[in-house]
Amino acid sequence: ELEKVKAAGKLVIGVEGTYPPFTYHDDSGELTGLDIELGKALAEKLGVEAEFREAAWDSLLIGIDSGRFDTVINSVSITDERAEKYDFSTPYAFNRTAVITKADDDSINTLEDLKGKKTANTISSTYAELAEQYGATVTGVDDLNQTFELLLSGRIDATLNAEMTFYDYTKEHPDANVKIAVLTDDANQIAIPMRKGDETATLRTAIDAAIDELRADGTLKALSEKYFGRDISTEE
């Protein structure tokens, strides 16, 4: 896989493009975000260009299967189910899961309180799966903005999402009537999925080495602080 990438002169990366601050379009329409900058930095370490291809969330991992992407960099958390099908890089970020409600809603104080509640997330996301595990009815949405619109309009009771996504949203919408009602203790490991198998080992090893270098030289910390105002590149 590494030889194929170098021969092509590019690392083809699947992204959502609608998930700020990881992958999104800025006011000028340019694709940007923490994961976009990370993808460019990784490609540079590999000696190739980064080529980003956008797709809906539930099509991203399928794009790895079909060969449309070499990998996906879009805040993908490592789960047991995903690890059975894909090889993952070393984690480059760590994020706890937040249950986000309207600020004046005190009905949800634990994950168990989600039973019988309505939530919204992109279907097949780890957050949707977790909500269903605790008895919530999950409405499928296309992007994060739609999720908050449903929450603020009262059509859902809560949404599960990355802690840092909440901080990013409230930074952009300081008057939004939302709060974190529950915050999990364990952090999700965010990493880069690739096709599973011995052929991918060389690419995975090269990406791991690049991530280690970017952590050592402070790039990961700098990107974290740029997009979140805090360092999410370590578990502490």
pLDDT in tens, 118-131: 999 887 788 999 99
Strand partners, 72: 14
- Helix/strand number for the chain, H first, E second: 9, 13
User: Rounded to 5 degrees, what are φ and ψ at 67?
Assistant: 85, 5
Would you say 148 and 212 are in contact if contact means Cβ atoms under 8 Å apart?
no
pLDDT at 154: 96
- In the chain, the amino acid numbered 88 is F
Task: Please give the pLDDT value at position 116.
Answer: 97
- Strand 76-77 with 178-191, pairing: antiparallel
Read off the pTM: 0.75
CA distance 92 to 9: 24
**Residue 153 pLDDT > 80, yes or no?**
yes
Most confident of 56-60, 171-175, 227-231: 56-60
Place of tokens 């060389």: 202
Task: Specify the 3-state DSSP secondary structure of 48.
Answer: coil
Contact 52, 22 (CB under 8 A): no
